[in-house]
Structure 1
Amino acid sequence: MQKTHQVSFHFLDVNGGDAIHIRFLGTDGKWHNILIDGGYAKEYKNAFGPLIREIVEVGEIIDYWIVSHIDQDHIGAVLGFFKDKKIENKKEIVQNFIFNYSPEKINIPNGKISVKEGIDLRNFLKINDIPAISPINTSTESLDVFGLKITILSPNPEKEAIATELWRKKEFSGRIGRKASESDHKKNIKDLEGIKFNEDDDPINGSSIAILAEFQSIKALLLADSHPSDIIDSLDHLTYSKDAPLAVNFMQLAHHGSKGNTNPKILEIVKTKNYVVTGNGIHNRHPDKETLVRLITRENKGSEILNIYFVCDTPELRDIFGVDQNPFNNHKFNCEYSKLGVESYTLAYLPLKD
């Protein structure tokens, strides 16, 4: 359990999903923990399961567990916590959930959009009287968690309401992931540079809870599968712009690096040299190379070296720039890759003095 820095952001490798642990030394002098999502159901035993048991063993709690939206690669492992017989007193361990859900009772569908898992989570919270903050959208007041400020950047009230209505009325039929032949990983940087951006229009992705996390001088963007236009609107409301950009220590690329979720404008408004990618290059072929090319060729990049932190380490990721000649020197960027499970990548800040 990290106790060397005042705040850390631990991205656990869950084979292409999102599983994030924020740990920080609060204004009360105690260590605090926030979880975001958890990955596919099968990944609970490899990632959040051992992590939560470690939190319990040292006598700590989870202040908030943010469930960004109901796609299986985000919500799946959350249900593993409720089924984990090794962890008792679950209500005491997780103080609050942040989770958008429909209050209605509906039929249980199949598919990669996990309305079933959403229903299971909603019902478990209600049956066990576990607090859950809902609805959550950009009209929600910022949270101050013992010195860690959480500002909601997505969804806006309209998209949150649309997703709730879809949950209530519609049985999703499921979606088929992209085939290897649809990947752009074998295309050259030059071929992908300057391609017109088309924003993701998936309403479930648009319902993602995305946040700006601030702790003392540290700022981080954790964007789940959000739509960039919504993030831009929120940053504009916070008075950030191309001329007055938001400087962050790192930005998690939305939707695992999908080309429809990071546009040139958000790269103008957000100033950073560090980007985190949760896609593994296999599931839905995320990240798209087109997205990475936007990062390394953008106009306002300047002479600084960019760092791309891959939460996973797969041959597919390591080969993305394999077709390009000397790409790292030509475009001034580095790639780093993580380890599997609990030992995966951590970005830690504000070292504690001995």
Structure 2
Amino acid sequence: MYPGKNGDAFLIDASDSHILIDAGYASTFNEYIMPDLMRLSQAGGRLDLLICTHIDADHIGGVIEFISSNGPSGARSIVEVNEVWHNSLRSLPASHGPSGSASDRQVLEAIQRRGFLLPRGYEPAANPISAKQGSSLARLLKQHGYLWNSGDGTTCMTAKQEPHVLSSGAQILLIGPTVPRLEELRAWWIHEMRKLSYKGTAPLCELAEDAYEMLCASTRQSAPPVAKTISASSVRSLEEAFVADTSPTNGSSIAVIVRVGGKKALFLGDAWAADVVEQVKQHQTGTDPIMFDAVKVSHHGSLHNTNVELLALIDAPVYLISSDGSRHGHPDLEVLAEIVDRPASFERKIYFNYETPASTRLRAHVSKSGAKFSVDVVQNDWIHI
């Protein structure tokens, strides 16, 4: 679990199959991830799968840096990559319209020239989204000859896909997003483009794909309303505090179950709680929670992406929280408390990649059920499951 600022970056070694899920910002990739991938390549290994969960700057930035730096097919400079999963404009099932007018093209070109915008307060020198400001991940994947979504990127990776099996036998099961969530993101993008006097219907071309990713990654989307504090001196329960995420990009997040050697881990990206609940229920037998060996908590521990219903369906001895707390105050203590307050016959280990106010408060928390838990901060080191 790499130190990705407010973003995500996970490297998984699944019986010598290697999976990279997101890559934080470009600085995360350059400083931490690239040296590990180069060592992997020098040892004769490769990256079996690269997953870009969704189009948000804190997830896609380091992936863009990786693909732009890795060179073309047949001459990879960092590491060979067997396949990339990334849902972009060309991946969506909706039909694409004609190329559009000259004025529409000018709007697309203006967005491309602007490139990816950084979150407010981030210095480009410290956290650039990419060294290639004018190139979307879609354009780079196509130009550099990657196997993309099991083909040329025109297939969307959704919960309807069959399990993907790697050479080592490791299995990746998609549990999100759904096709409607991807269609909602495209509709949101068109709506935002209309504000810029764009009248087209998303022609399938590199320029439109650039504009799609750059606007989705850079536009500040409306946040869900915040639940009112019950008391200044008390901690709200998650049930009291939860208000569902409404971000279309988060709703489009790829979520997976990784199975290998009798172990299974749940990686949720920034997925919506309701969507995860719906998919997890399809894999539940009986009424007991599904036990995973590790759970990567959705959206950096935000109380908008984990609810009581979801935590009643899943449990694990290991939880992963990825955030430095610099954006939106993630993680939220209400989520952490709900995780450790549940009864359990085992000890839960809560791993953070940064010390945050919430992790500090969790250390002092006493589980309401008396269940044992520990808090660990691990940066740039393996977490063994």
Judge conservation of contact 2:344–2:371 (CA < 8 Å) in 1: no
Judge conservation of contact 1:321–1:327 (CA < 8 Å) in 2: no
- In structure 2, relative to structure 1, the CA distance for the partners of 1:216 and 1:150 (3 Å cut) is same
- Looking at structure 2, the residues matched to 193 and 237 of structure 1 have their Cα atoms a distance apart, in angstroms, of 24
CA-CA distance at 1:48 after TM superposition: 1.5
CA-CA distance at 1:170 after TM superposition: 3.3
* Match for residue 164 of structure 2 among 143, 149, 152: 143
Aligned counterpart, 2:125:
none
CA-CA distance at 1:231 after TM superposition: 1.1
Judge conservation of contact 1:20–1:35 (CA < 8 Å) in 2: yes
Judge conservation of contact 2:54–2:250 (CA < 8 Å) in 1: yes
- Looking at structure 1, the residues matched to 300 and 159 of structure 2 have their Cα atoms a distance apart, in angstroms, of 22
Note if 1:34 corresponds to 2:75: no
CA-CA distance at 1:150 after TM superposition: 0.7
Aligned counterpart, 2:208:
none
TM-score by length of 1: 0.79
Judge conservation of contact 1:102–1:168 (CA < 8 Å) in 2: no
Judge conservation of contact 2:24–2:62 (CA < 8 Å) in 1: yes
Judge conservation of contact 2:41–2:78 (CA < 8 Å) in 1: no
> Identity across aligned pairs (percent)?
24
Judge conservation of contact 1:189–1:293 (CA < 8 Å) in 2: no
Note if 1:164 corresponds to 2:151: no
- Looking at structure 2, the residues matched to 259 and 21 of structure 1 have their Cα atoms a distance apart, in angstroms, of 25
- Looking at structure 2, the residues matched to 91 and 98 of structure 1 have their Cα atoms a distance apart, in angstroms, of 19
Aligned counterpart, 1:3:
none
- Looking at structure 2, the residues matched to 118 and 131 of structure 1 have their Cα atoms a distance apart, in angstroms, of 22
Bigger Rg, which one: 2
CA-CA distance at 1:282 after TM superposition: 2.1
CA-CA distance at 1:244 after TM superposition: 3.5
RMSD: 3.4
- Looking at structure 2, the residues matched to 123 and 168 of structure 1 have their Cα atoms a distance apart, in angstroms, of 20
TM-score by length of 2: 0.73
- In structure 2, relative to structure 1, the CA distance for the partners of 1:38 and 1:118 (3 Å cut) is farther
* Match for residue 199 of structure 1 among 244, 250, 261: 244
Please, which moves more after superposition, 262-271 or 186-195?
186-195
Which structure would you say has the larger RCO, counting Cα contacts within 8 Å and 6 or more residues apart? 1
Aligned counterpart, 2:353:
311
Any idea what SS the aligned residue of 1:285 has?
A: coil
- Looking at structure 2, the residues matched to 188 and 19 of structure 1 have their Cα atoms a distance apart, in angstroms, of 35
- Looking at structure 2, the residues matched to 242 and 311 of structure 1 have their Cα atoms a distance apart, in angstroms, of 35
Aligned counterpart, 2:377:
337
Note if 1:70 corresponds to 2:92: no
- Looking at structure 2, the residues matched to 234 and 286 of structure 1 have their Cα atoms a distance apart, in angstroms, of 25
Judge conservation of contact 1:91–1:128 (CA < 8 Å) in 2: no
Q: Deviations over 1:119-168 (max 9, x none)?
A: 62111111222110041111111101121111111111100222234446
Judge conservation of contact 1:242–1:269 (CA < 8 Å) in 2: no
Q: Deviations over 1:226-258 (max 9, x none)?
A: 0111111111222x1671421101111100000
Note if 1:276 corresponds to 2:309: no
Q: Deviations over 1:32-77 (max 9, x none)?
A: 2111110012221122111111111112111110000011110101
